[in-house]
Amino acid sequence: MFDKVLIANRGEIALRVVRACQELGIQAVAVYSDADSEALHVRHADEIYHLGPPPAKKSYLNVEALLQAAKETGADAIHPGYGFLAENAAFAKAVTDAGLAFIGPSAEAIDKMGNKSAARRIAEDADVPVVPGSDDVGSADEAVSTAAEIGYPVMVKAAAGGGGRGIRVAENKEELRKAVQVAKREAESAFGDGTLYLEKFLANPRHVEVQVMADHHGGAIHLFERECSMQRRHQKVLEEAPSPGISAEVREKMCEAAVRLAKNADYANAGTVEFLVEDDEFYFIEMNTRIQVEHPVTEMLTGVDLVKEQILIAAGEPLSVAQDEVPFVGHAMEFRINAEDPDNDFMPSPGEITFLEVPGGPGVRVDSAIYQGYKIPPFYDSMVGKLIVWALTREEAINRARRALKEYRLEGINTTIPLHLRLLDDKVFLSGDYHTGYLEELLKEG
């Protein structure tokens, strides 16, 4: 087992990993920028290390500084959290080249599954259904030729993409030519890689992902699915499990396909296999090679601590549970609390938290790294916390979430709490029959 783990991240995920390490008897090292000197992950860690100025490139994305931090603190492993360098194959390789353990999949697995067109080929080899589409397209002319075979509308997607960036929809060849140019520029700016590919655009699909976990001894399991269709601009707003829109038969087939894919990719550690579901058909779209923001949904549903499992696997331990030992009880939901103004086109709302009162009670969990008096910096992601609830039924979970959100008093900044309360009274959401485009439609209505 590791003696000391450095967490190459900030905010609530850094605090989440700090706590997991401490429960395993491992010393946790927090890193921080000037903007995060008073952050909770810094306060609760066993040891801290200053990285540099607030801009991420000079702090949380500074590979040299992170490796130096690990060396000077005597850490023997690095946990990347999510975001920043979590899915950066070069960082994972640099960590292992430095003689440290990377708490995540191998650089080779990140590289294979991080390129979405390559991941499609791996899925096809594993007999996992994929959305009709193409391999890499090198030009607008090639895209137009390929789209003629697939059929319009099509999605132009960045092969190295993520977070909804580098995606455009085209209804005809004129729109496609423009979409290729825009998506290529956006992908080059965001990811340093302008490679694109095409997928058939599904009109009203659900976005459902399967949590997988694999060890270095050939073991691989799934921990069921999460429904992620409530999205704005391809960014998830809330998640729930089990999905209210798929049958038990589809669930079983999809989860088995996710495990098959992980095995075919020689994958080890935590990963999420993402699918689009339309009617009773599901299609692989990508694999996230890291722990997800919404991992607490699965933890509440199954009782398995995914972050501890990550650490144990990286230390060479086998999976702590077999497939038939994974519980599947009740219903869980996660609500992302962002420092944004839903009434002003979701403008970021950094600033000081003047009053904070978090909800509690049975089946309520709050993952956050804020406190009263804390000043949310303007340099990073706007998410300041996550409210997670669990109950025996979906209806009970919704009622519990509504009560908890009303208890959640966070003053001094604007947040997305009012949006979540609106959704919990929305007839379509309550029915469970919603799709990835539904929230955008609802917001347009005002």
At residue 22, the 3 state secondary structure works out as helix
Q: Are 155 and 227 in contact (CB under 8 A)?
A: no
Tell me, what amino acid is at 99?
G
Q: Is 206 a catalytic residue?
A: no
Cβ atoms of residues 254 and 225 within 8 Å: yes
Residue of 294, 277, 296 lying closest to 285 (CA atoms): 277
Structure tokens at 311: 């650490």
Cα 155 from Cα 316, distance rounded (Å):
40
Instruction: Give dist(CA 92, CA 107) in Å, integer.
Output: 5
- Exactly one of 290, 336, 394, 400 is catalytic; name it: 290
User: Crossing angle of helices 248-264/116-125, nearest 10°?
Assistant: 110
- Cβ atoms of 295 and 269 within 8 Å: the answer is no
The full DSSP string for 29-91 is: EEEEEGGGTT-HHHHHSSEEEEEESSSGGGTTT-HHHHHHHHHHHT-SEEE--SSTTTT-HHH
Q: Which residue spans within 328-411 are E strands per DSSP?
A: 331-338, 340-341, 347-348, 351-352, 355-357, 364-368, 375-376, 383-391, 409-411
Distance from the Cα of residue 22 to its chain's centroid: 24
SS3 state of residue 383: strand
Bridging pattern class, strands 133-137 and 4-7:
unpaired
Peptide bond just before 242 cis, omega within 30 deg:
yes
- CA dist 287 and 200 (Å) reads 18
Pairing of strands 331-338, 351-352: unpaired
3-class SS of residue 165: strand
Rounded Cα–Cα distance for residues 419 and 437 (Å): 16
Q: What is the dihedral of CA 417, 420, 422, 428, to 10 degrees?
A: 180
- The packing angle between helices 306-314 and 295-302, to 10°, is 100
Residues 6+ apart with CB under 8 A from 416: 237, 335, 336, 337, 338, 340, 342, 346
Enumerate the active-site residues: 290
